[in-house]
């Protein structure tokens, strides 16, 4: 089974990895626990320790810094790696929440049998294939229910309908997902129609069996994908784009298939339905995600030129940077060509915990909270002459202030987290989030974090600088 996304794996040696996977290898952020003790918390690439991370040996010795191919290349202070360690801890926590098991045909069958629409579809298909009709009582009941609930269902669907194209940088991923989702059922439907036409199967039976199945297959992606993305800390913006685009695709495909089925029924032949399915499958399969990706990359080229201009490069060098070539007689500074710019963007989006955080949290309120939180730390760093981030009490004081002043603990955020209390919830949240952040500091492991927060909480909670009061 291919390991992809968040997950936990225990090796035969007893080693254990909790974090992100890509194409079966450790990729992104995660925590690896060695079989003889000790652990590595940080970034991974291609199954190896690569990026910023901290390795703690069973003896207590610590190596922190930038890793390349499993070896420490540049040594840093542990405090400089705190962001990567925190990201690895978050990835490990998300991996621990992933449901283990499932995916077997038996699991899929049990889930299918537990779904009421499955039984309704099976009963309707059986009646159509057997040439039977509903009893008068059941026909009357279902027709009246359909008349009563149809407008209400359409109104509810219209109120919750979200349709819109994806952003250019999302086009390739969205196109790939929708192609993978829509092409197989459309192609199989066309093949089944071709077989029915060749073998002379009854038109009514063919349409009765294929029609409902294809309607279900082209239905929009369920909104639950957003909750899934939030739960497992996936890219919520990409999930929302997939849901919106799939809704637009369903609005186009469902009427087309309905008209084709009507024409086939009127003509007494499945040929119109076959043509509609074949044409739709061809159109879906003809998408060019690579072209969309190139288009998105092309939009990034002017940014590279702007960076060259800001760095003091002459206009000719900036123009050459936008074209991906060095200017004649000039040395363009590192990172200004289109290719280098794309490489830098790809590196940041795949390796930097902060950039990945901002991509996954592209909600204006959450971005404001995150920026305010970090700016409070920057303010403390600038005003504190003797501030020492390896000192647990110093770190705790800044985390208390950041949690209190950034909006991390306002009522709405706590309500979404399921934390509600009659009184004192704000202080509880500030204390909880401060302890969590301080515990990520390699110098403040275990009970040191809670003790540090307790010792400075009252004074630091009251310190609202640079604000007059808690915003």
Residues with a catalytic annotation lie at: 374
Which residue(s) pair with 33 in the sheet?
A: 16, 39
Q: How many CA atoms lie within 13 A of 13 on its CB side?
A: 9
Q: What angle do CA 243, 246, 249 make, to 5 degrees?
A: 155
Cα(30)–Cα(34) distance, rounded to whole angstroms? 13
Residue 167: strand, helix, or coil = coil
Phi first, then psi: give them for residue 43, nearest 5 degrees: -100, 150
The DSSP symbol for 335 reads: T
The DSSP symbol for 170 reads: G
Residue 106 makes CB contacts below 8 A (sequence gap 6+) with: none
Cα(29)–Cα(412) distance, rounded to whole angstroms? 29
Contact 91, 44 (CB under 8 A): no
CA dihedral 31, 35, 37, 41 (to 10 degrees): -10
Picking from 168, 111, 126, the residue whose alpha carbon sits closest to that of residue 301 is 168
Residue 331 makes CB contacts below 8 A (sequence gap 6+) with: none
Residue 438 makes CB contacts below 8 A (sequence gap 6+) with: 392, 395, 396, 399, 444, 448, 449, 452, 453
Contact 20, 27 (CB under 8 A): yes
Contact 319, 327 (CB under 8 A): yes
**C-alpha pair distances (Å), 197 with each of 212, 258, 274, 281:** 19, 19, 9, 18
**C-alpha pair distances (Å), 321 with each of 26, 29, 293, 306:** 35, 33, 20, 9
Picking from 247, 250, 267, 137, the residue whose alpha carbon sits closest to that of residue 206 is 267
The DSSP symbol for 74 reads: E
Residue 39: strand, helix, or coil = strand
């Amino acid at each position: 089974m291919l390991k992809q996304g968040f997950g936990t794996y225990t090796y035969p040696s007893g080693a254990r990895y909790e974090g992100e996977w890509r194409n079966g290898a450790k990729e992104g952020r995660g925590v690896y626990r060695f079989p003889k003790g000790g652990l590595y918390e940080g970034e991974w690439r291609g199954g190896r320790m690569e990026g910023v991370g901290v390795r703690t040996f069973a003896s207590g010795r610590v190596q922190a810094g930038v890793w390349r191919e499993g070896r420490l290349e540049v040594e840093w202070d542990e405090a400089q790696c705190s962001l990567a360690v925190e990201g690895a801890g978050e990835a490990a926590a998300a991996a621990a929440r992933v449901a283990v098991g499932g995916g077997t045909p038996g699991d899929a069958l049990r889930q299918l049998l537990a779904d009421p629409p499955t039984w309704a579809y099976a009963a309707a298909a059986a009646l159509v294939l057997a040439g039977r009709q509903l009893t008068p009582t059941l026909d009357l009941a279902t027709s009246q229910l359909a008349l009563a609930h149809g407008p209400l269902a359409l109104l509810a669907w219209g109120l919750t309908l979200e349709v819109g194209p994806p952003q250019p940088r999302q086009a390739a991923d969205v196109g790939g997902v929708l192609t993978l989702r829509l092409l197989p059922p459309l192609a199989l439907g066309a093949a089944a129609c071709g077989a029915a036409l060749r073998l002379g199967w009854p038109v009514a039976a063919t349409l009765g069996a294929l029609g409902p199945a294809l309607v279900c297959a082209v239905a929009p992606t369920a909104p639950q994908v957003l909750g899934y993305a939030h739960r497992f800390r996936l890219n919520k913006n990409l999930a929302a784009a997939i849901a919106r685009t799939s809704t637009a695709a369903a609005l186009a495909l469902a009427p087309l298939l309905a008209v084709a089925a009507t024409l086939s029924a009127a003509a007494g032949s499945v040929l119109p339905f076959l043509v509609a399915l074949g044409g739709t499958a061809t159109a879906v399969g003809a998408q060019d995600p690579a072209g969309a990706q190139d288009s998105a990359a092309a939009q990034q080229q002017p940014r590279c030129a702007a960076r060259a201009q800001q760095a003091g490069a002459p206009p000719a060098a900036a123009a050459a940077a936008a074209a991906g070539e060095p200017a004649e007689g000039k040395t363009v500074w590192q990172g200004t060509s289109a290719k280098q710019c794309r490489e830098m963007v790809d590196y940041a989006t795949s390796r930097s915990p902060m950039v990945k955080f901002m991509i996954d949290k592209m909600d204006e309120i959450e971005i404001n909270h995150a920026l305010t939180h970090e700016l409070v730390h920057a303010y403390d760093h600038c005003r504190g002459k003797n501030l020492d981030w390896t000192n647990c009490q110093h770190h705790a004081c800044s985390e208390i202030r950041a949690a209190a002043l950034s909006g991390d603990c306002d009522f709405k955020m706590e309500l979404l987290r399921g934390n509600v209390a009659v009184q004192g919830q704000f202080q509880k949240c500030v204390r909880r989030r401060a302890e969590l952040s301080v515990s990520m500091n390699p110098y403040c492991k275990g009970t040191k974090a809670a003790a540090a927060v307790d010792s400075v909480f009252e004074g630091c909670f009251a310190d609202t600088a640079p604000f007059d009061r808690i915003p």
